[in-house]
Amino acid sequence: MENKRVLLGMSGGVDSSVSALLLKQKGYEPIGMTLELFAGSSCCDTNTYMDAKNVCNGIGIPHFIYNCKEEFREKVIEDFINCYANCKTPNPCIECNKYMKFGIMYERAQKLDCNYIATGHYAKTEYSEKYGRWVLKKSKAGAKDQSYVLWNIPKELIEHVIFPLGDFESKEQIREIARQNNLKVANKPDSEDICFVPDGNYKKFLENNSDIKPKIGKIVRTNGEILGKHKGLYNYTIGQRKGLGISYSCPLFVIGFNPTKNELIVGEEKELYEKEIEVTDINLLLVDQINKPMEVDVKTRYSSKMAKAKIIQEGNKIKVTFNEPQKSITPGQSAVFYVDDIVLGGGKIIK
């Protein structure tokens, strides 16, 4: 008899709450688990725990809280700090998914004799006859699809992952299910910010939680022309135009950094476009190796549109050549590769 026990990550929001309901309706045996990640974060306050617990009590499933603050600091926050210290722009949700939701949670699932783990992400898993393996796919939610932030999960887990919301097209459908089933979180607002920076001020977070402090340096053009002073390189990101504190005959944008000289490099909009990039820290889900050039669709940010490109693996890196130059590609962000609606894999952009 199939083991239908599922460990469900619950944030206290409507997505994971409706996921619990749907799993139970489909005959699974869900157990709700809320990860305790960072004191004061939007996903680790008393309301979060109580909302998740109340939902579980209401639909008659167990719920517990698991403390993994130490692991979260080591794997997610330290990476966040390290990226900014090295002039990169991180995406901490991707690290959290890899190490917390699809790392620690899967370990707990095994100890609880659960055959599956589940989350409220908008994504899909299914077995592909064409590729002879389980695959991670885009959901039907269009702009709400979250497959981009899941590229780094271990591929051997895919057949043990359930995304109950994968076939829904909008968040409103989820809220309506919550209302019909009297879930009190039906109209709970979405959390938009980084969970451990709930006020959105990542600069203050860095200054309070690391050795990163304001260090004034020069703002320069690529030809060395000095235009002004910056307030510390961590305050800026590729493509930024506002807040530079300089005036010039045409609009200027951040196009790069020189950490050795503590210089912020600015240029015109046309200098933001790139045809080729490299990615490292590769995780391939659909194939084991890319031995010859492949045509794929690429996303270089969660909110960016797909771009057509050719990719080829060179050792532990992948070279990406876009059909058309792409704007504001940012080291530290992820490049995620798609074949149709299947996630091929991804890596971290290093330029």
As annotated, the active-site residues are 96, 195
| Sign of the torsion formed by the C-alpha atoms of 258, 200, 175 and 13 | positive
Residue pair 329/276 in contact (Cβ under 8 Å)? The answer is no
DSSP class per residue in 18-75? HHHHHHHHTT-EEEEEEEE--TT-TTSSHHHHHHHHHHHHHHT--EEEEE-HHHHIII
**Separation in Å, CA 135 to CA 123, 246, 294, 325:** 11, 48, 18, 29
Buried b (16+ CB within 10 A) or exposed e, 60-92: ebebbeeebeeebbebbbebbbebbeebbbbbb
R_g of the chain, CA atoms, integer Å? 22
Residue 37: closest CA among 96, 87, 86, 112: 96
Characterize the bridge pairing of strands 263-267 and 217-220.
parallel
Burial classification of residue 170, based on how many CB atoms lie within 10 Å of its CB (0-12 exposed, 13-18 middle, 19 or more buried): middle
Per DSSP, the residues of 101-140 read IIIIHHHHHHHTT-SEEE---SEEEEEETTTTEEEEEE-S
The alpha carbon of 83 is separated from its chain's Cα centroid by a whole number of angstroms, namely: 15
